[in-house]
């Protein structure tokens, strides 16, 4: 007699709910929100649901992103007609000049008082490539010494184009691939992922700094995103290569070093120890760094052989090594290896400027805010360096311990964001533009589970608008008020954020204690930012406190960024399952009521 058939009763399949829809994603029934999109960016894409392929949608997004970038570039730039140093635009143009007009051994030594090269080798190679292309158009743009402070309109078009092309070759493809992989990992529909992609590419801070103020930060950010995307695809060797490229372009990528190390190491020991993978990652990392500096080594040896000195204007044959001055007496300055040592030490010295102090300009991090209350700059530099190191480690170790113990793909953006917020708030020599590093992974959360829901959208939007606001003093100095206002308010409008809308906090009549709390906290900051703009515009600071409004900007910004760090760390803890399930269940239940 045959037993009961295993197929005699099949349980009813549960409908799979989309975990991230652009109308909203709360605990309410999903069909409640299928009629009306909850914020303008979703409304713009609404007619394309199901009627347009994702490839057509992608092409429209990329065209719109490019249009906004090019339109933003029509404004002025850092240092436009502002002698004597002419700002960041001149720095980038000058690096093109020295990399195309000087031997490679002189790049890190040449005229350090005039925008001396102080970024890693990949930036120099990028400048060299841009210069080779630009010199085909007009060699006078990069004539040594004669082109300083040049403001040729055609040169401006070329320089703007190098930023756009670099971004479309590296950053944008990396973000597109990451969003696709991360959204699929979290069960997000392709249409919602497209909305998230548009929001990420329209992030105002990156457009303001790279395409208006003028820099190439998105090249470094693109390599970092590519490293994260490779982790999602379990291509760990490529992840190491891309991260070395990010470090090789800008040393600020060190903000991401801990989570990259923690995740890659965690993948080698969990769920089981994989020695071959560990050796492979370590080997490819060393090889990547070697390839990065190899042109400098070969070029320096060739220049020395041809009698070309790294310091052409110096009368001395040898100088003490910077940073490692005491090491000079133990080395043979006439040995064949010495020029290589000198070159590498000079490179490190230029890339890591410890002599500049804890901070140069007023920036919205912990140390600058603390300096308003206690003049910490009067303390010895060694003490401040140790204090910054300890505070940075204290803020960055917790998220990376979690990632090491729980190397899970959905945790990557949160771990990257929490760590980089810790670096921004507490590390040494932070620039206001460094806020782009924590903003990037935090903004990528829009492509994840609940990413376009109220809570995540509210916090991601708050961080981005606050980040733009803290960069306003920098942008104001180069007459960029209008693009700042337009791009920031436009992004706020797209995502339904204050001051244009409150839909990211309250919608469809549903509200909870946590939503009211978040709205009150964020609302206080939005009011402070608005009031600050009014006071800064119409009220001159007293003569004895000329930096009053900048100092107020620093204090409010540091407080808001600290909340962003705590939110990212809290979300990371909850999603990592580190806490007991019973406690997490109680917290989730309390949140829904």
Contact 536, 375 (CB under 8 A): no
pLDDT for 425 beyond 90: yes
User: Tokens 């310091």 — which residue?
Assistant: 311
Q: DSSP readout, 460-488?
A: HHHHHHHHHHHTHHHHHTTT-HHHHHHHH
CA distance 449 to 151: 47
What angle (nearest 5°) sits at the alpha carbon of residue 446, between those of residues 215 and 195? 90
Residue 24 pLDDT greater than 60, yes or no: no
User: What pLDDT, on a 0 to 100 scale, did the predictor assign at position 593?
Assistant: 44
Percent residues over pLDDT 90 in the chain: 65
Give pLDDT, residue 127. 97
Residues 197-206 pLDDT 10s: 999 999 999 9
50-68: pLDDT as tens digits = 777 888 899 999 999 999 9
Query: Helix, strand, coil shares of the chain as percentages rounded to 5?
Result: 70, 0, 30
Instruction: Give residue 47's pLDDT.
Output: 84
Residue 481 has pLDDT above 90, yes or no: yes
Residue 310's pLDDT band (cuts 50, 70, 90): confident
CA distance 280 to 234: 13
Question: Contact, 204 vs 150, CB < 8 A?
Answer: no
- Of the candidates 191, 253, 216, the one whose C-alpha atom is nearest the C-alpha of residue 56 is 191
H or E element at residue 538: helix 513-538
Alpha carbons 443 and 451: distance in angstroms, whole number? 9
- What is the pTM (predicted TM-score) of this model? 0.90
d(C-alpha 402, C-alpha 270), whole Å: 13
How many percent of the chain have pLDDT more than 70?
88
pLDDT digits (tens, 9 = 90+) for 551-570: 999 999 999 999 999 999 99
Specify the DSSP class assigned to residue 48: G
Question: Across 232-246, 418-432, 514-528, which has the greatest mean pLDDT?
Answer: 232-246
Q: Which helix (H) or strand (E) holds 71?
A: helix 54-72
Comparing CA positions, the residue from 337, 264, 257 lying closest to residue 304 is 337
b/e sequence 325-362, b meaning 16+ C-beta within 10 Å: eeebeeeeeeeeebbbbbbbbbbebbbeeeeeebbeeb
Q: Average the pLDDT over each of 21-35, 96-110, 502-516 and give the range with the smallest value.
A: 21-35
**Residues 431, 479: Cα–Cα separation, whole Å:** 19
Sign, CA torsion 187/192/197/202:
negative
464 has a pLDDT exceeding 90: yes
pLDDT number for residue 509: 53
Give the pLDDT score at 19: 40
Choice between 318 and 494, residue whose per-residue pLDDT is larger: 494
DSSP letter, residue 510: B
Average pLDDT over residues 470-496: 94
pLDDT for residue 4: 42
- pLDDT exceeds cutoff 50 at 17: no
Residue 439 is encoded by which pair of tokens? 């903003």
Q: For tokens 């590296």, name the residue.
A: 170
Other C-beta atoms lying within 10 Å of the C-beta of residue 449: 19
Q: Which residue has the higher pLDDT, 522 or 112?
A: 522
Per-residue pLDDT reduced to its tens digit, 25-56: 433 333 333 457 889 999 988 888 877 788 88
Q: Residue ranges of the domains in the chain?
A: 358-592
Mean pLDDT of the chain: 87
């Amino acid at each position: 007699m045959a037993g009961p058939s295993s197929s005699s009763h099949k349980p009813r399949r549960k409908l799979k709910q989309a975990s991230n829809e652009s109308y909203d994603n709360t605990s309410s029934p999903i069909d409640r929100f299928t009629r009306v999109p909850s914020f303008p960016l979703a409304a713009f894409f609404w007619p394309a649901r199901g009627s347009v392929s994702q490839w057509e949608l992608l092409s429209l997004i990329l065209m719109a992103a490019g249009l906004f970038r090019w339109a933003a570039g029509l404004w002025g730039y850092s240092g436009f007609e502002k002698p004597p140093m002419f700002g960041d635009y001149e720095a980038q143009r000058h690096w093109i000049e020295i990399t195309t007009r000087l031997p490679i051994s002189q790049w890190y030594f040449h005229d350090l008082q005039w925008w001396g090269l102080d970024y890693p080798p990949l930036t120099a190679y990028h400048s060299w490539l841009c210069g080779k292309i630009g010199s085909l158009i007009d060699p006078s743009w990069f004539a040594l010494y004669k082109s300083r402070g040049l403001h040729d309109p055609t040169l401006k078009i070329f320089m703007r184009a190098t930023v756009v092309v670099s971004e479309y070759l590296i950053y944008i493809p990396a973000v597109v691939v990451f969003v696709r992989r991360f959204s699929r990992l979290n069960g997000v529909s392709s249409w919602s992922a497209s909305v998230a992609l548009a929001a990420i590419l329209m992030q105002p801070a990156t457009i303001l700094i790279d395409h208006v103020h003028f820099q190439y930060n998105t090249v470094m950010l693109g390599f970092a995103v590519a490293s994260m995307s490779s982790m999602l695809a379990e291509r760990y060797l490529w992840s190491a290569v891309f991260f070395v490229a990010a470090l090789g372009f800008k040393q600020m990528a060190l903000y991401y070093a801990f989570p990259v190390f923690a995740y890659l190491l965690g993948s080698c020991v969990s769920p089981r120890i994989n020695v071959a993978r560990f050796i492979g990652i370590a080997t490819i990392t060393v090889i990547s760094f070697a390839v990065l500096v190899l042109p400098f080594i070969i070029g320096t040896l060739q220049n020395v052989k041809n009698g070309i000195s790294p310091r052409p204007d110096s009368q001395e044959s040898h100088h003490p090594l910077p940073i490692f001055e005491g090491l000079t007496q133990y080395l043979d300055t006439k040995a064949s290896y010495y020029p290589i040592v000198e070159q590498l030490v000079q490179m490190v010295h230029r890339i890591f400027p410890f002599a500049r102090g804890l901070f140069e300009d007023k920036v919205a991090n912990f140390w600058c805010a603390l300096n308003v209350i206690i003049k910490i700059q009067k303390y010895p530099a060694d003490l401040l360096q140790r204090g910054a190191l300890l505070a940075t480690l204290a803020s960055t170790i917790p998220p990376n311990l979690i990632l090491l113990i729980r190397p899970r793909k959905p945790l990557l953006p949160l771990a990257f964001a929490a760590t980089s917020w810790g670096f921004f708030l507490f590390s040494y020599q932070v620039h206001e533009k460094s806020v782009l590093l924590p903003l990037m992974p935090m903004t990528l959360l829009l492509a994840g589970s609940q990413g376009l829901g109220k809570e995540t959208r509210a916090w991601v939007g708050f961080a981005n608008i606050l980040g733009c606001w803290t960069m306003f003093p920098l942008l104001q100095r180069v007459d960029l008020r209008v693009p700042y206002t337009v791009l920031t308010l436009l992004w706020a409008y797209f995502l339904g954020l204050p001051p244009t809308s409150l839909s990211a906090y309250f919608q469809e009549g549903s509200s909870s204690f946590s939503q009211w709390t978040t709205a009150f906290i964020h609302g206080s900051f939005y009011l402070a930012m608005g009031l600050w703009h009014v006071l800064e515009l119409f009220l001159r600071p007293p003569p004895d406190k000329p930096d009053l409004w900048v100092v107020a900007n620093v204090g409010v910004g540091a407080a808001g960024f600290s909340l962003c760090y705590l939110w990212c760390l809290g979300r990371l803890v909850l999603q990592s399952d580190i806490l007991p399930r019973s406690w997490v269940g109680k917290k989730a239940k309390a949140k829904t009521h």
